[in-house]
Amino acid sequence: MTEITLVEAVNLALMHEMERDPAMVILGQDIGVNGGVFRATVGLLEKFGSERVLDTPLAENMIAGTAVGMATQGLHPVAEIQFMGFIPPTIDQLISHASRMRNRTRGRLSCPMVLRAPYGGGIHAPEHHSESTEAMFAHIPGIRVVIPSSPTRAYGLLLAAIRDPDPVVFLEPKRVYRLMKQAVEDNGEALPLDTCFVLRPGSDITLVSWGAMLHETQQAAEQLAGEGIEAEVIDLATIKPIDMETILESVGRTGRCVIVQEAARTCSVSAEIAARLAEEGLMSLFAPIRRVTGFDTVMPMFRLEGHYMPGTERIIDAVRQTMEYA
């Protein structure tokens, strides 16, 4: 079994599914001849041809709208937006059409499309290249939002997203595109959507995160173990809908929770998890829920990225403050 990176796992899943499903097509700017800005689609044009691998103009609204049209007519499109900072033009197509196609047609049509985009900071990119606005999509009824954190998750979750009968926004943490390698078997087995993954068991506190921030969160958990604090680490994986059952079960055992995200703080996914814990798990809590987040500002240029993005020390500080409660 070959060890591959996260972006190679994305390519492997696309390759596998295009071989399995002749109705699958991919489209986006520079995905064909150039193989994608991060090389996620390299080799697909040569293997499947220009009728199934479509280079498009730089027009995000058109890319999303074309995918909606394809999906309603029997194809299974996977559209790529080069960077999340350029994704807002797709919102009209997702809110006005993709998300409500099943409801609008009373079940006669669904919209089996995937909108892929690299997201997040940490690679010293210019403005509009480092956004983390997953909460914007999570707020849209009818849209499923998925974020992998590792090569194995990327392979299995992308297969599941492509096979889902309804629209999925699949956000890839580009900071970890090539950070790690894992052995990934190209066996076509999808991972379950709408399910959290427990990455590390623990009994003292629950740490919930997703995407690239799981790297720092797991580092924090390892350091805290040296202080005698056993943190359970949960990979949220599906941002919408949230698997609250797994989170509530964990917090029911630990009594404490810290949520870690790269995104801005206000009205974010961490706010939703904290609210649900307060509504459904209040009697389990020994301490207030804490959040370690980005700031309510535009993502800064690279010299300030390290200040904006939660680091291991900020996570450890939040855990220590939470543990001070009896």
Q: What is the pLDDT of residues 122-144, one digit of tens each?
A: 888 888 888 899 999 999 999 99
pLDDT in tens, 55-110: 999 999 999 999 999 999 999 999 999 999 999 999 999 999 999 999 999 999 99
Clarify whether residues 172 and 33 are in a common domain. yes
Mean pLDDT, the chain, whole residue set: 96
Q: Which domain holds residue 248?
A: 197-324
pLDDT, position 326: 66
Task: Please check the confidence at residue 179 and state whether its pLDDT lies above 70.
Answer: yes
Q: Is 129 a catalytic residue?
A: yes
Residue 114, SS3 per DSSP: strand
pLDDT digits (tens, 9 = 90+) for 220-247: 999 999 999 999 999 999 999 999 999 9
**Do 128 and 273 belong together in one domain?**
no
| Among candidate residues 123, 158, 184, the one where a domain is terminated | 184
Find all residues with CB under 8 Å of 73, minimum gap 6, and list them. none
Domain final position from 152, 184, 216: 184
The reply to whether 7 and 87 lie within a common domain is yes
Closest by CA to 222, choosing from 290, 319, 292, is 319
Residue ranges of alpha helices (H) inside 255-299 are 269-280
| CA distance to 119, 217, 254, 276, 277, per residue, from 245 (Å) | 27, 21, 14, 11, 10
Of 149, 184, 219, which residue is a domain's last? 184
Residue 133: how many other CB atoms lie within 10 Å: 19
Rounded-to-integer distance, Cα 127 and Cα 124, Å:
10
**CA-CA distance, 144 to 193, in Å (whole number)?**
9
Mean pLDDT of 171-195: 97
Inform me whether the pLDDT recorded for 303 exceeds 70.
yes
Catalytic residue from among 129, 139, 215, 307:
129
The CATH number of residue 14's host domain is 3.40.50.970
